[in-house]
A and B are shown apart, each in its own frame.
Chain A
Amino acid sequence: MASSLEDIDPLDRLVHEPARLVVLTALASCASADFVFLQRVTRLTNGNLSAHLSKLNAAGLVAIDKRFIDRKPNTRVAITAKGRHAVDEHWTRLEQLREGARGLKHQEGKPRH
């Protein structure tokens, strides 16, 4: 019998990376957030967070806006419609994966006649 896990689409590696998933999930529940907040949420260093944001920006999942507030540079990041769709889709796939694994466990637990 084919596993129900085989029916699940492969995970998007760009979104699946833990730090990027945290960034996208946090951004999906607000209008925008700045670099300092995202750094606090992910606990990444400046360089690492910048690299992750660049990848997400290049893929069109987030929009980055560099501005000045009180003469100090501030980087604001907002999730795009494509990014919102990608992260929703990703969580759905993860849920499917978990459900699939539960189903397998359930089948294995059944007594054979």
Chain B
Amino acid sequence: MQTPKLQPAQVAARFRDLQGLRQAVAGVGLLLFFVWEMFFPLSSSSIRAEGIGAELRAAAILVAGAVLTVVAVLWVNAWYQRSYGRVEQTRSQKRLGKLVGLGGVLAVMGPFEVDVFTQNDGHVVPVNLAMFTLAVWILGYWLYMGRPFWHYIVIAGLGLLLGIASIAGIPPSSFDSHIRETTLYLALASIAGGVIDHVILTRSLSRPGSPVGLEP
């Protein structure tokens, strides 16, 4: 299926959000973290078994990974500015963008806080709440981006299905399984959504050469 081509006003209004490779690079960073965590679990039981040295090593690798990801995102950002230029958003656009971003952070962190709280209490939340809240937030993100960005509906739908599966005990509920499943989903969603957004941007902004009007 062909990706949509946006009108100049739509591109200008959502220019920063359309620079999907930044999101995709952050997703790759998260995916690498997920793979690394599968081999060297960060769960409290494994850290207790291996001692404080393992905890420090894990923290150092986490910080190094986060720094590398931030550097990669900044490099992609600079590439976008060189290739596609700069657009400054209006104050209301900036405010709305910040609100959407904050919503995303809360959608992930809120349910994890609930998981941590109940875990400390000796219980396990039987459902992956973060998967539901994240899927609902992605639906909101689709409303923010607009109708042509239908791929976010597919991504949100997949999240809702995974959330429903968690009610049926797939995977079995635990704090670790919730955090792993949500991390993998978030990483793949960021990569897929980001790459498609980037394709929409490149389709909408062609290189100079086929002008819309030549008469100066």
The stretch among A1-9, A42-50, A92-100, A102-110 that forms the contact with chain B is A42-50
Residues of chain A within 8 A of B8, CB atoms compared = 22, 25-26, 41
Whether, in the assembled complex, B102 has its beta carbon less than 8 Å from a beta carbon of chain A, the answer is no
Q: Among A17, A37, A39, A43, which residue has its beta carbon within 8 angstroms of that of B87?
A: A37
Q: Among A20, A34, A40, A51, which residue has its beta carbon within 8 angstroms of that of B206?
A: A40
Interface 1/0 per residue, A37-66 and B, CB below 8 Å? 111111111001001100100000000000
Q: Among A19, A31, A39, A44, which residue has its beta carbon within 8 angstroms of that of B90?
A: A31
Whether, in the assembled complex, A36 has its beta carbon less than 8 Å from a beta carbon of chain B, the answer is yes
A34/B86 contact (C-beta < 8 A), A27-B12, A40-B206, A43-B206 known: yes
B207 to chain A, nearest CB (A): 7
> Do A74 and B86 touch across chains, with their CB atoms under 8 A apart?
yes
Interface centre among A17, A37, A55 (most CB of B within 10 A): A37
Residues of chain B within 8 A of A26, CB atoms compared = 8-9, 11-12
From 54 to 105 in chain B, residues with beta carbon under 8 angstroms from any chain A beta carbon are 82-91, 93
Residues of chain A within 8 A of B7, CB atoms compared = 25
Residues of chain B within 8 A of A19, CB atoms compared = 211-214
> Do A36 and B86 touch across chains, with their CB atoms under 8 A apart?
yes
Interface centre among B8, B209, B211 (most CB of A within 10 A): B8
Whether, in the assembled complex, B120 has its beta carbon less than 8 Å from a beta carbon of chain A, the answer is no
Q: CA of A25 to CA of B208 in the docked complex: distance in angstroms?
A: 19
Interface centre among A30, A52, A74 (most CB of B within 10 A): A30
A64 to chain B, nearest CB (A): 14
Residues of chain A within 8 A of B82, CB atoms compared = 36
Whether, in the assembled complex, B13 has its beta carbon less than 8 Å from a beta carbon of chain A, the answer is yes
A48/B212 contact (C-beta < 8 A), A25-B8, A37-B86 known: no
Interface 1/0 per residue, A59-103 and B, CB below 8 Å? 000000000000000101000000000000000000000000000
> Do B85 and A38 touch across chains, with their CB atoms under 8 A apart?
yes
> Do A45 and B216 touch across chains, with their CB atoms under 8 A apart?
no
> Do A31 and B215 touch across chains, with their CB atoms under 8 A apart?
no
Q: CA of A27 to CA of B87 in the docked complex: distance in angstroms?
A: 9
Q: CA of A36 to CA of B81 in the docked complex: distance in angstroms?
A: 9
A11 to chain B, nearest CB (A): 15
Residues of chain A within 8 A of B88, CB atoms compared = 30-33, 76
Q: Among A27, A33, A52, which residue has its beta carbon within 8 angstroms of that of B86?
A: A33
Whether, in the assembled complex, B33 has its beta carbon less than 8 Å from a beta carbon of chain A, the answer is no
Residues of chain B within 8 A of A51, CB atoms compared = 216
A76 to chain B, nearest CB (A): 8
Closest residue to B94 on the A side, CB-wise?
Answer: A31
Residues of chain B within 8 A of A55, CB atoms compared = 216
Binding site for B on A (CB under 8 A): 17-22, 25-45, 48, 51-52, 55, 74, 76
Can you pick out 25 interface pairs between chain A and chain B where the beta carbons lie within 8 Å of each other? A17-B213, A17-B215, A18-B212, A19-B211, A22-B8, A28-B9, A30-B89, A30-B93, A31-B88, A32-B88, A33-B87, A36-B83, A36-B85, A36-B86, A37-B12, A37-B85, A40-B85, A41-B11, A43-B212, A45-B211, A48-B216, A51-B216, A52-B216, A74-B86, A76-B88
